[in-house]
Amino acid sequence: MSLIASITLSELAAHLRVAPRRCVVTSHVRPDGDAIGSAVALALALQKLGHSVRVLNEDGVPDNLSFLPAASLVERPSGVVEADVVFALDNATQPRLGEGVNAAIAGIPLLVNVDHHISNTRYGHHYYIDSTSPATGQIVAEWLEAAGVEIDAAMAENLYTAISTDTGSFQYSNTTPATYRWAARLLETGLSVGELNRKIYQSSPLRRVRLLSELLRVLDISPDGRVASWYLTGEMAARAGSIPEDTENMIDHIRGIDGVVVAAFFEELDDGRVRLSLRSKDARFDASAVCGQFGGGGHTMAAGARLRGPIMEAKERVLSSIHEALIAAIPA
């Protein structure tokens, strides 16, 4: 199939109601709560409908999300997979699925791209993009409802985690009335919200505290106080004993500083590139547009990119672009 076309929610739902078929569900590298929660919830629904399912992720399940029901379904790619359809979730560009995943799914005849990133490149044969949705988990919940799938407690725990983590525990401006309604419906399946939030937000290894200590040593605030940044080299990560997933949400520590409008986190990767995470507290500053200058993208207030190193040169280039965009968008 060579057709590339936008589809409606009802057309998306029809993909679940067809005769049982072999399905693959996947998402982006360095997966977060939305990526894993959405993928596992959809996989459980597909199984419930009689489809066979494999869930692939280039990097597997991070330790901090291993508590999720059926997280063991997620596997790293190994060799070519034979299937009828791929559902790619929460992923803006096909390369970001990872080299191993893309090699594994290369021969599958149908790829359906479901996402909420405004920077999505509309890859695949069919795509459903709702950039007004705060999380792909919310899209999956709406998708299952449209398909007539009853959401059970295991699906609900994954979907709640997906939605909660991508809304900053319902703190971000992307949170809508529908988001709160979905949270309530998911809790009505019998979830213990206190226990679940403890697992999501109050369970960190000591190495993560050591990592924070390393980052605080290199914290930089711009002269006008509006841009906060820090960076992580391989040497710093080794001293802290941290692993890549430990950096998740670390940027929130500097994003919350009074007066800061833009927060930037630079992380040195094993391949010599630099991972950029960018956050904005004012919608007038478009984080996705700045990241787009470096081949990345995301949302207006949360975006990322991967750039060529060395890390200090990458930091200098990006901070220069941030300052230019900030002055243009929000004059001091």
Q: Which CATH number fits the domain that encloses residue 46?
A: 3.90.1640.10
- Domain co-membership, 182 together with 279: no
The proportion of the chain whose per-residue pLDDT surpasses 90, expressed as a percent, equals 94
Residue 116 in this model has a pLDDT that exceeds 80: yes
Strand partners, 228: 221, 263
- Domain co-membership, 187 together with 232: no
Domain closes at, from 166, 201, 236: 201
The proportion of the chain whose per-residue pLDDT surpasses 70, expressed as a percent, equals 99
- Domain co-membership, 221 together with 191: no
**Domain containing residue 307:** 206-329
Amino acid letter, residue 10: S
HSE (CB half, 13 Å, CA atoms) of 165? 26
- Domain co-membership, 39 together with 124: yes
For the chain, how many structural domains are there in total?
Answer: 2
- Domain co-membership, 135 together with 28: yes
Domain closes at, from 201, 227, 259: 201
- Domain co-membership, 166 together with 246: no
Largest separation between any pair of C-alpha atoms in the chain: 61
Q: Which two tokens stand for residue 155?
A: 């699906």
Closest C-alpha among 173, 154, 232, 160 to residue 201? 160
Segments of the chain assigned E as strands: 5-6, 22-26, 52-56, 74-75, 85-89, 111-115, 126-129, 220-221, 227-232, 262-268, 273-280, 297-298, 302-308
Across 326-331, average pLDDT: 95
Q: Which CATH number fits the domain that encloses residue 265?
A: 3.10.310.30
**φ, ψ (nearest 5 deg) of residue 190:** 110, 10
- Domain co-membership, 212 together with 190: no
Cα separations (Å) of 226 from 9, 192, 282?
40, 39, 11
- Domain co-membership, 224 together with 307: yes
Q: What is the pLDDT of residue 88?
A: 98
Q: At 5, is the pLDDT very low, low, confident or very high (cuts 50, 70, 90)?
A: confident
Domain closes at, from 201, 235, 255: 201
